[in-house]
Every structure is written in structure tokens, then in C-alpha cells.
Amino acid sequence: MDTALDLHGPLTEDELRRLDAYWRAANYLTVGQIYLLDNPLLREPLKPEHVKPRLLGHWGTSPGLNLLYTHLNRIIVNRDLSAIFVTGPGHGGPALVANTWLEGTYSELYHSVSRDETGMQRLFRQFSFPGGIPSHVAPEVPGSIHEGGELGYALSHAYGAAFDNPDLLVACVIGDGEAETGPLAGSWLSNVFLNPARDGAVLPILHLNGYKIANPTVLDRISTEDLLDLMRGYGHQPYIVEGDDPTKVHQTLAATLDRACDEIAEIQRRARSGGTVERPRWPMIILRTPKGWTGPARVDGKQVEGTYRAHQVPISEVRKNPEHLAELERWLRSYRPEELFDATGAPVGDLAALPPTGDRRMSANPVANGGRLLRDLDLPDFRDYAVDVKKPGEPAVGATGVLGTWVRDVISRNPQTFRLFGPDEVASNRLGAAFEVTDRAFVADTVEGDDHLSADGRVMEVLSEHLCEGWLEGYLLTGRHGIFTSYEAFIHIVDSMVNQHAKWLKVTRGIPWREPVASLNYLLSSHVWRQDHNGFSHQDPGFIDHVVNKKAEVVRVYLPPDANTLLSTMDHCLRSRHYINVVVAGKQPAPNWLSMDEAVQHCRRGLGIWDWASTDEGAEPDVVLACAGDVPTLETLAAAELLRQHLPELKVRVVNVVDLMRLQPPSEHPHGLPDNEFDTIFTRDKPIIFAYHGYPWLIHRLTYRRANHDNLHVRGYKEEGTTTTPFDMVMLNDLDRFHLVIDVIDRVPGLASRAAHLRQEMVDARQACRDHTRRYGEDDPRVAEWRWIRETDQALRGEQ
């Protein structure tokens, strides 16, 4: 197969001239943003005071981005395509801003930056300056769903955008620097999950400009044959567009884009004309052009164009160095601005007529402002999936398994706007009911015995948290809905991606034309307390801590203690907008506490006193037992029961927390409970023993401003664990029922002496339990353990 098309066509002389002029205009506007304060059209000779005092921006990648944007405009117009542009090298912000201004979108959204000389001057001044706009392809840039500040996610975002968008072309530029990152390297095979019949197309464009900040790039320095093999290995048909002669590159790029679009159209036609979907060989383009192309070749005797020195600002100290000033002026004038802009400063007619119009402009495509397209999900009534709780604790059913039946029906009722994402753990996390109505998406060879694989599957499973996250972000930002389910410990793999998404959400709240998108919902199961079989490497509840560092307006954390509260919580999350919702829930059979009505009410409040488990009977208690998370709730209720039996006169109040952010003051988080309500529930001066799912200090960090904080004593995970039984896990971390009773005895004034005997019983029970766990019994040690613990509980209570 050909990998390089080197033709005389397809552009006519006139088309070529116009394309090149448009490219020059975009380049001119890019350089203007980096350098100019005034004299935007160079109507007078450039003077030092026309130049910005601080020079900021990334030139190196920009001419390539401008070239691609220009040529994509051509094929959009020629073929009436719906396309968006994902800018992997997001540092090239001024290039994208230039293009959106050229095609008018920028001025429509930011009126003061009009498409005339005044507007151009504002466009230049505002770039990378206080009160202006950021230097990257930030959310402020129309048409962007991807900032590209932290590198690695361009391609996964592109695929996420393409899913369920059959008419969309996502042009995804990948810098050769970004291509070195793990997440990007792992994204290429996303094409195994893209269904040409139902999904849109992604056109990856690897932009080999050879250098990063200070180093050559790896992919530029391996042999071309290896590079082509690599792309073929990823399942692509690669085409190389290479050169530094604009005329030739224009022709080759135009021909190559035509060919790529033809191939994509043919792939889609075949897939959509019926029959089985086979994995197609999608085209991709390798664009090899000089870094900082069209910029100054040499500065101060050193090569700049085509080297890492072109990465940011090629000519520095322009105000003070007359030679540099002259060099900058030569550079700017090399684009011949007088041919590009009319007397008013607007693009000349030829140029203005070149890009697509209206929503066909990549900067105005509603797909890239997903909130505009977002529709509410058709959600089945979660109450219909309730566990019938006869009395607190019964039946014992795994929460995520129950949720799975509801998720199944969410999938059924929303066949084009909802997907479930997970790293090979959907069934392991007990959401397998989904497979009653759909499959796992998979567009590669299948064999007999494969379990629910098809090109049409709506469950996205790949052993990569990065891909799940990137796909889902791309899917959400283009107006759809989803859930990411993962083992709790390994969601840390995407910590930094979550950071970036949280920042995106925070910033877009302040951009009026950006409509809210669906929330990013995490369902974390196989959590720290029930990774007893995998051991220490799988035990980490710190993702919550990570998320709550982000802006309070965008983060929510829920710890439903059982199935009905989980149903209510997830229903709420799927209705919410523009948040990051973290939900942690268990998958193992576990007691259920609340009827559906109680669950709904409890979730609405976010936290509350469980009267049925308390012995304070509405009066001021002697001690508050608080809990958050399914396992801590179980241990707390067991401790309350032990206390009820042994210290019946002790007034114990049990408080359960579903919505963790209720613990913060309202000044810190919108969900924060007012101080008076907090004090009413937690008292102002009684000991609080708080059994928490994660690292205990988080509870202190959330509550340190509360009146009763000094009396708060938190138990949680303190980084102790191994392959052992579930109860041994809580004991290793002092979160077990016996230890909670000890904590009560040690903290309630006057109880130490009165309950010395009980305290010793608890100490003995812990030791006996550890001994028991370490003995092999007749049964599964988990079963034996629970039976033994129950017997211990009963014996301690004086029951049979």
C-alpha cells in the first residue's frame, strides 16, 4: 500500500493560492498574539512599543496546527462534513484562537474581539496576559473539548467524541511529544472498540515536528519503516505527508486528506450497508514538517526553525534588541498581511469565503459544546429495583448487583446516549446484569465461547483506566452520559486526568456559552475492605482525598451503606450536571438497612440519625457513633448492639453519613450542613466515634471547624492490609466492632472504670478472633469467621 501520495493535484492553482493565503493569515494571527501589543496590521513600521513586554506562547507546533485546520476546512466544505478538531499539542493555543477568529466564531462569542482591526488588536493583547485568555487550547477556545496542557489524552478524547456520533469526523492531532506518553501510546488501539456502523470516525494525525522542549522526539528518530510498521501494527493504514515546501505539502496534504476521507466513507458505507462488521483498516496521517515552520530560520546565528529552539518564543528580547525587532518585522511581513486583511482589518473576501459556515465550522460544531446537545436520560424508576428490607440487616444482598439491574434498564432505555465504562471489571464489580441487554463493544476477531462481545456492545471494557476515563470524558463533553466503574484502588491511575477534568468543569462554569454537561460518575467497588483476596496492592481508599482537593462546586462524594441507598444515589448522580460524583459501594453480599422510602429520605438529607439503632431516644446522647461506608456501618451497628446489651443505660446515637460533603461547613462546600444542624446531630460536647471507609484524617480535614471537633475520634484505613479475611482487615485497622466499643469506653467520661470488665472482654474477643482467623477451620474461613463473630457477639450479649 502507498504510504505517501505525491501528486500534482488535486488543488487548482487558485485553490492552492487561497489555501496558502488562509494558512498565512492563521500564522500571522498566531505570531501577532505572541508578540504584538499594537500596530496589529503593520500599517506602520514595527517599533519596540508595539511589542508585548512579556513574550509568552508556543510557536513551534502552531504552523502545523494552522495547516491542518486550514485543510480540514477544505474537506468539510467539499464534503459537507460535520467535524471537530482535537488539539493534542494544546500548547498551540494561539493557532486555534487564530482560526476561530478567522472563521468568525470567536467574535460571535466574544463580541469585543470583533473581526476588524480593533478586534484584532484585542485578540493580540489578550493572549497570555492577566485578565486575558490562557495560552493553551483552554475551555475558553470555541470548538475545543481538550486542553492539551497535560499530555496524553487527545486520542482517547477523540474516540469518546466519536462513539454514537455516526456522522462525525474527529480530526485528532497528536504531537510527537505526546506520543511518548503511556496513555497516548495505549490509545491507538481504541480503534478495536469503534463500530464503523454506529460510531463516527477518528482520523489520527501524528504531527512529527521532531522536537519537544529540549529533546528530539522518539518517533521522529526511529526509522520511517519502523514508524510505518508501528502504525500498521495499530491497525491503521498510514500516509506520510512530508516536506518543507509549502506548495508541495499543500498538494500532498490535500490529496491525502481526500484519500483518507474516501477510505473512511467507504469503510462506513460497507459497515452500514448491512452484514457483519469487520475491523476496518482506518487511515491515519503522519505529517512531518519542520517545527516552527515559516518562522525565523536562524536567530543570533543559531538554527531555530526545525529545532527545539522554535518550541516557545523564537525571537526574544525584541523590545531591547533592534536586530530582533527587525527580524520579527521581517517574519510578520513574510505573511504579507496586506493581502490577507482588508482596510477594516477583516479577512479579505477570498479568505472569509474559505471556511465552512454556521455550525459546520469546527469552532461552532455543537458537538464540541456538548451541553447544547445534552438531553436528560430516560431513567427507570429506581424504586422499582428496591431490596425489600424486612428489618434492618435483612436480606444480605450485594449492593452493586442490585444496582446492576437498574443500570441494565438505563442502557436499554437510552440506546444511543449512555455507556458503561470499566477496565475489565464490569462483571467483577457485579454489574453483569447489563449483559442481559447488551454486549461488550469489540470490533476484532471473536471466537466461540467469548462472553458477550459484539461491535454493537454498549459496555466499554479495556484493561486501561486511562482509556476508560479518556473515552468517557470525550463522550460526556460531547453531550452524552456514562458511568465509570473501577476497582477503588486503581482509580488512582487516572488521578491526573480527573484533575484536568475538574479544572475544565470549574472554568466552564464561568463561560456563559458553555452549556453544562453530564456529570462524570465513578462507581468504585471491590473496595479497600473487600480486597482481602488480592491483598495490599489492591487496598487504597485515597481517591476520595484526591477528589476533594478540587473546587467544591464540582466535586461530590457518596458512601451509600446498602443497596437502596446506592440506587437512590446513582439516580441522583445520573440526573446531575457538571459534577464529578464519586460513589463507593460494596459488591459482596452484605446487610441492607433501609427500606426504599427510608433510603430516599436518608439520601436526600445526606446524613442522619438512625433512631432504630440508637438508644438515646431523642435525648442528648452520651456518645455518638458515626459511620460512612458499608463496612464501617456494619461494624458501627454491631458495636451499637454490643453496647445496647452490655451498657443498656448508655445513651448511644448512631449517625450514618451518605454524602460526605455534608460534613464540611456551608462556607466550604455547597452541601455543607449548617453548624446548628451539625451540632444538633453530633452534639457540641459529647464524644464522637467515627468509623470511616477511607483514611481517617480526611474526616478531620472536613470537620475541623465544627464546634465538637475536639471530641471527634476517627477510625479508618491506616494502610494496613494483606491477603486475609474481611474481618481481619477491619481488625488490622482498628475499625472492628470490638475496637469501636473500646473507643466508646475510653472516651465517654466515667465509663472506663464502670465498664472495665467489658473492655477486657473486647480485648479478649479481638485476640480470640485473630487466633481464630489464623486457624484453618472446616469452612471457608470467611464463613467460619462470620459465624464465629456472630457467636461471639451473641455470647457477649448473653444470647444463645
Site for a second copy in 613-672 (CB under 8 A): none
Q: Which is nearer to a second copy, 48 or 618 (CB)?
A: 48
CB of 431 to a second copy, least distance (A): 11
Which single residue is written with the C-alpha cell 520511517?
224
The correct pick among 233, 395, 618, 674 for binding a second copy (CB under 8 A) is: 233
Percent composition of the chain: helix, strand, coil (DSSP 3-state, to 5)? 45, 15, 40
Among the listed residues 21, 231, 434, 626, the single contact to a second copy using CB under 8 A: 231
- Can you tell me the distance from the alpha carbon of 793 to that of 765, in angstroms, rounded to the nearest whole number? 9
Cβ distance to a second copy smaller for residue 270 or 550? 550
Grid cell at residue 492: 488512582
Closest distance of CB 740 from a second copy, Å: 20
* CB nearer a second copy, residue 464 or residue 581: 464
Report d(CA 566, CA 202) in Å as an integer. Answer: 36
Give the x/- contact pattern for a second copy in 181-220, rule: CB under 8 A: xxxxxxxxx--x-------------------xxxxxxx--
Among the listed residues 247, 303, 680, 760, the single contact to a second copy using CB under 8 A = 303
The CA-atom distances, in angstroms, between 218 and each of 167, 181, 404, 539 are: 35, 11, 44, 36
Site for a second copy in 92-131 (CB under 8 A): 125, 128-131
CA-nearest of 130, 124, 128 to 138 is 128
Q: Which residues of 614-650 are buried (b: 16+ CB within 10 A; e: fewer)?
A: bbbeeeebbbbbbbbbbbbbbbbbbbbbbbeebbeeb
Q: Is 239 in contact with 5 (CB distance < 8 Å)? A: yes
CA atoms within 13 A on the CB side of 442: 16
Is the Cβ of residue 134 or residue 392 nearer to a second copy in the bound state? 134
Side chain identity at 717, as an amino acid letter? Y
Of the pair 421, 610, the CB lying nearest a second copy is at: 421
Residues contacting 714, CB < 8 A, separation 6+: 690, 691, 692, 696, 697, 699, 700
User: Considering the complex, what minimum distance in angstroms separates the CB of residue 55 from a second copy?
Assistant: 8
Q: Pick the binder of a second copy from 704, 768, 791, 797 (CB under 8 A).
A: 704
Compare residues 620 and 780 and give the one whose CB is closer to a second copy: 780
∠ CA(600), CA(602), CA(607), 5° rounding? 150
**Does residue 477 contact residue 370 with C-beta atoms inside 8 Å?**
yes
| Coil vs helix vs strand at 217 | coil
Q: How far is the CB of 582 from a second copy (least distance, A)?
A: 15
CB count within 10 Å of CB 760 equals: 11
Rounded distance between C-alpha atoms, residue 636 and residue 690, angstroms:
9
Interatomic CA distance for residues 599 and 39, integer angstroms:
65
Q: Which of residues 517-576 bind a second copy (CB under 8 A)?
A: 533-538, 540, 542, 545-546, 549-551
Residues 6+ apart with CB under 8 A from 202: 155, 158, 159, 162, 170, 172, 190, 191, 194, 282
Please list every residue from 253 through 282 that binds a second copy, using CB under 8 A: 279
> How far is residue 633's CA from residue 711's CA, in Å, rounded to a whole number?
20
Candidate list 103, 147, 305, 562; residue touching a second copy; CB under 8 A: 147
| Cβ closest to a second copy, residue 112 vs residue 446 | 446
CB of 455 to a second copy, least distance (A): 13
Smallest distance, a second copy to C-beta of residue 208, A: 13
Q: Which stretch binds a second copy (CB under 8 A): 114-122, 257-265, 721-729, 739-747?
A: 721-729
CB 217 within 8 A of CB 179: yes
Of residues 362-381, those binding a second copy (CB under 8 A): none
Q: How far is the CB of 193 from a second copy (least distance, A)?
A: 9
- Of the candidate residues 7, 352, 437, 507, the single one contacting a second copy (CB under 8 A): 507
The yes or no reply on residue 760 touching a second copy (CB under 8 A) is no
- What's the first-to-final CA gap in the chain, in angstroms? 80
Query: Contacting a second copy (CB under 8 A), which of 6, 20, 150, 677?
Result: 150
* Residue 468 one-letter amino acid: C
- Give backbone dihedrals phi and psi of 603, rounded to 5 degrees, phi first: -70, -35
Burial class (CB in 10 A: 0-12, 13-18, 19+), 157: buried
Smallest separation, CB 583 to a second copy (Å):
20
Stretch that binds a second copy, among 69-77, 246-254, 594-602, 718-726 (CB under 8 A): 718-726
Contact assessment for residue 241 and residue 258, using Cβ atoms and an 8 Å cutoff: no
Rule CB under 8 A: choose which of 428, 454, 595, 708 binds a second copy.
428
Q: How far is the CB of 608 from a second copy (least distance, A)?
A: 25
Residues β-bridged to residue 172: 86, 204
- For 709, the 3-state DSSP assignment is helix
Give residues 316-355 in contact with a second copy (rule: CB under 8 A).
none
The residue count for binding a second copy (CB under 8 A) is 131
Which of positions 724-753 make contact with a second copy (CB under 8 A)? 724-725, 728
Closest CB to a second copy among 214 and 619? 214
Pairing outcome for strands 688-692 and 712-715: parallel
**Residue selected from 698, 730, 735, 745 as contacting a second copy according to rule CB under 8 A:** 698
Collapsed DSSP state (helix, strand, coil) of residue 460: strand
Of the ranges 289-297, 438-446, 629-637, 787-795, which one interacts with a second copy (CB under 8 A)? 438-446
C-alpha span between 566 and 583 (Å, rounded): 8
Task: Yes or no: say if 389 and 593 are a contact pair by the CB < 8 Å rule.
Answer: yes
Candidate segments 22-30, 79-87, 102-110, 694-702, binder of a second copy by CB under 8 A: 694-702
**Among 2, 222, 768, 787, which residue interacts with a second copy (rule: CB under 8 A)?**
222
| Residue from 37, 297, 437, 511 in contact with a second copy (CB under 8 A) | 37
What's the closest the beta carbon of residue 375 comes to a second copy, in angstroms? 30
State the nearest-atom distance from the C-beta of 232 to a second copy, in Å: 4
Q: What is the smallest separation between the CB atom of 395 and a second copy, expressed in angstroms?
A: 22
Choice between 11 and 231, CB closer to a second copy = 231
Judged by phi (left if over 0) then psi (alpha if -120 to 50, else beta), residue 191 lies in: alpha
Nearer to a second copy, 612 or 697 (CB): 697
492 or 684: whose CB is closer to a second copy? 492
Quick one: 168 or 433, whose CB is closer to a second copy?
433
Q: Which is nearer to a second copy, 213 or 756 (CB)?
A: 213
C-beta atoms surrounding 511 within 10 Å? 14
Tell me which residues in 440-499 interact with a second copy (CB under 8 A): 440, 442, 444-447, 449-451, 453, 461-467, 489-490, 492-493, 495-496, 499
Cα–Cα distance measured from residue 724 to residue 732, given in angstroms and rounded to the nearest whole number: 10
Min CB(756)–a second copy separation in Å: 24
